[in-house]
Amino acid sequence: MQFNEPATANPIDRQRVVGKPLSRIDGPLKTTGRAPYAYERHDVVANQAYGAIVPATVATGRITRIDTAEAEAAPGVLAVVHHSNAGKLGKAKAITARLLAGPEVEHYHQAVAVVVAETFEQARAAAALVRVEYARGTGAFDLEKEKGKAVKPGRSADTAVGDFEGAFASAPVKIDATYTTPDQAHSAMEPMATIAAWDGDMLNVWTSNQMIDWARRDIAETLLIPKEKIRVQSPYIGGGFGSKLWIRADLVLAALGAKAAGRPVKVALPRPVMVNNTTHRPATIQRIRIGADRAGKIGAIAHEVWSGDLPGGGPETAANQTRLLYAGANRMTAHRLATLHLPEGNAMRAPGEAVGLLALEVAMDELAEKLGMDPIELRILNDTQVDPEKPERPFSKRQLVECLRIGAERFGWNARKAKPGQVRDGRWLVGYGMASAFRDNLAMDSGARVGIDAKGKVTVATDMTDIGTGTYTIVAQTAAEMMGVDVDDVIVLLGDSSFPVSAGSGGQWGANSSTAGVYAACLKLREAVARKAGFDPATAEFADGFVGQGNKRVRLSEVAGREGLSAEDTIKFGDLTKRYAQATFGGHFAEVGVDAVTGEVRIRRMSGAFAAGRILNPKSARSQVIGAMVMGAGAALMEELVVDPRFGYFVNHDLAEYHVPVHADIPVQDVFFLDETDDKSSPMKAKGVGELGICGVGAAVANAIYNACGVRVREYPITLDKIIGKLPPVTAA
C-alpha cells in the first residue's frame, strides 16, 4: 500500500477500539513470569552451554598475545574463541567498532574473547584465566580538549538562512551562552543477551533487539553469511532506549561460541561491562546565540554543537530542533565531531532533541528574563506554522501554542513569581519552570500478515518488537478495529524475522508505522473476506465479528471457513514528509524545591500537555510519557558517566554508581493529550509520543531551579555542588 496523499475517512476513525485506554494484553504474561526474555528461552533449543566474554582492559592499542591454555584446561570448558581462531569476520556498516577486538583494540571493554563452558559459573571462572597482553596506545578521551580538532561530520550538513552574524550583531537583546551535557548510559533493565544455535549452516538467535531486520543485516555483514540463513527472534524485550537498535557483542560471541562448541550457547553481558562495551549517549558542548527585538521577536538564532565518537562514528545532532521550533529570518546550525576513543556513541532515547533542548530551552528562558517577558509568551510570540528554513513547507499539524496554553492552565503557571527566590516552604526555596517539547515525526515502511480462522480468531504476525511500550496492545487494537472483532479475539505475534518486515522500535516511529502496516494488511484481508461473502469491498461493514452489507450479515468465521483467509501487505511512505514538516509538540512544566542550606533539589511535581496525532492507547501513551519525564529528570539532576582520562573508560559503570531516578522520586505527574489527528502522517493519523516525553523535561527542571534560588547552571547534571556556593544568604524561614 502506498501512502502518497493525506489520509481520508477510514475504519480507524470509528475509534471503537483504537483510542481506548486498554490495559496491555501482555501484562498478565509479564506479571506471572510467562513472558520469557532472551536469556530465559530454555524452551527453544536443548543442551545450551554458557558463554562469558573477556573484555579489553585498555582503550586503545593492540593485542600482542593471548594465552588461553589455563582457561581451556579449566573444568567444563568447551571452547575459547578469539580473533586468532574465530575465522574471517566482517564489520557491519551500521556499527562503528568491531564486536570482537583483534588484533587492534578500539575502546575499553571491547570484547577480546568468549569462553564457553557447561555452566555459567565455569564460563565466568575460566574467562578470568585468559591472559591477554597489550601494546597500549594513546587515546583522546576529553571532548573539551579535543574540541579544537573537531571537524564537520559527513552526514550532518551545516544549515544557514539569511545573515545570522549581521542580524545577531544588530539585535538589541542577545543571549550568547554555552551549555554542556555529559555522557549518559541507557540503563535498560534487561541486559544484552543472546542464545545462538546452528542447524547446519542456518543460524538461529534468540536475542534482545529492537530492530529485527537490521539485526539480520548486521549479522550477515559481520559473520559473512547470507541473510536468508539467519533467523532472529525477539518477542519480549526488557527495555532498550536505543541501545538495542543494533546487534552487540553478546550476539556475535554467542554465534561464534556455538559454532566452536558444536552446541547452542547463551551469552549475557554483565552490567559492569555493558556500559563500556555497548553504546552510550555522547557528551556535548553547545553554544546558543539568540538575538531579538525589544518586543521579543527573534531575528537571529544559531545553535552550534560539538560531540565526539570513535573514528567512523557520527555526531549527536543536538541542533536539529532549533531548525524547526521557532521562527527567525536569520538562522544557522552547525555540528562538529571530535575523535574520542571512548566506547561507541550512538542513539539514546530521542537522540538529538533530548540534549539539544536541554540547551535551547534554557537559552529561551534566559532570553525571556532579559526581555522581562513571561517565558511562555516569548515562545508563543515566536511560533511558526511553516518550516523556518523553507517557508513554502507548512507543518502538517502544529499545536505548540495550544500545548503551552493548556499546560500552563493545568499546572497553575499564573502563580509563578517571575523574580527568583521569592517563594519559601520551610527550608525549601520553591520555583516553577517550563520548556517546549519537540520531536520530529518519522515513519518507516512496515509490513504485516493478518489471517482469520474458522473460529473467527484474527492473527497478526509482524517482526515489529515490543520493548515494553505496549506494541502488542496497539497492534491488537488496530486489527480489532479494522476487522470488527473484540481485542480478545486477536492474537499478536511479534519479533520474528520469519514474519513480514516492520519498522521496529526506535526513533518514535514504531507505533505509528507498525500499526499502519497492520492497517494495510487488514485492508487486503477485508477485501478478500468481502468478496468471498459476496459483498462489495468498498461498502462492506465489519463489526461484532460479522461482515455485512445492507440487511445481510455473515460471521467472519463462516467466511473464513476451514482453510481460513489471510493477507499480507506493506505500507510504503511517499514524499509527504518532504511536502510537509511533520513533528510532535508539547509543553513541560516542573515545580522544584531547592534546600536553602544544602542546595539539594527535589522535584515536587511535573506536568505536560502534548500534541502527537491520534493517541492509539491513552493508557500506554501516558505510561510512555511519564517514564520519559522520569528519564528527563535524571538527565537534569543526576545522570553522568564519569570518564577516567588516564585509561579511557567510564568509571561508574553499574546502577550502584550511575544514578537514575525512579517514579518515587517524582510524586506527582500530570499528562494531557490534545485531541489531534494528522492525516499526513499515516492512515492511522497518529504520530509517535514515547520520545517526545523526554524532550524539554530537563530544561523545565533547570529553569525551575533558577526560579527557585536564582542560580543558573549550564553544565548538566545540576548537582548540589554546582548550586550550594551560589545560594543566597540563609535567613530564617
Place of cell 504485516: 448
Can you give the C-alpha Rg of the chain in angstroms?
Answer: 27
202 grid coordinates: 542456518
DSSP category for residue 397: -
CB 484 within 8 A of CB 545: yes
CA-to-CA separations, 703 to 417, 420, 667, in angstroms, rounded = 13, 10, 19
- Residue 519, CB half-sphere, CA atoms under 13 Å: how many? 25
Cβ neighbours for 664, distance < 8 A, ≥ 6 positions apart: none
Query: Using CA atoms, how far apart are residues 708 and 517, in angstroms rounded to an integer?
Result: 48
End-to-end CA gap in the chain: 66
Say which of 5, 316, 691, 715 is annotated catalytic.
691
Q: What is the DSSP letter of 283?
A: P
The C-alpha atoms of residue 366 and residue 401 are separated, in whole angstroms, by 20
Environment class of residue 724 by beta-carbon count within 10 Å: exposed (0-12), middle (13-18) or buried (19+)?
middle
Strand partners, 592: 431, 603
CB atoms closer than 10 angstroms to residue 667: 11
User: Which residues of 261-297 form beta strands (DSSP E)?
Assistant: 265-268, 284-292
Report the DSSP pairing between strands 446-452 and 565-573: antiparallel
* Amino acid (one-letter) located at 216: R
Set of cell numbers at residue 134: 597489550
691 in catalytic set: yes
Query: Is 581 within 8 Å of 324 (Cβ atoms)?
Result: yes
Residue 116 has phi, psi (to 5 degrees) of -110, 130
User: Torsion-angle region of residue 204: left (phi > 0), alpha (psi -120 to 50) or beta?
Assistant: beta
Pairing of strands 284-292, 458-461: unpaired
Tell which residue, 118, 61, 52, 121, has the closest CA to residue 81.
Answer: 52
Distances from the Cα of 715 to the Cαs of 285, 286, 326, 640, 711, in angstroms? 9, 10, 24, 11, 12
The residues annotated as belonging to the active site are 691
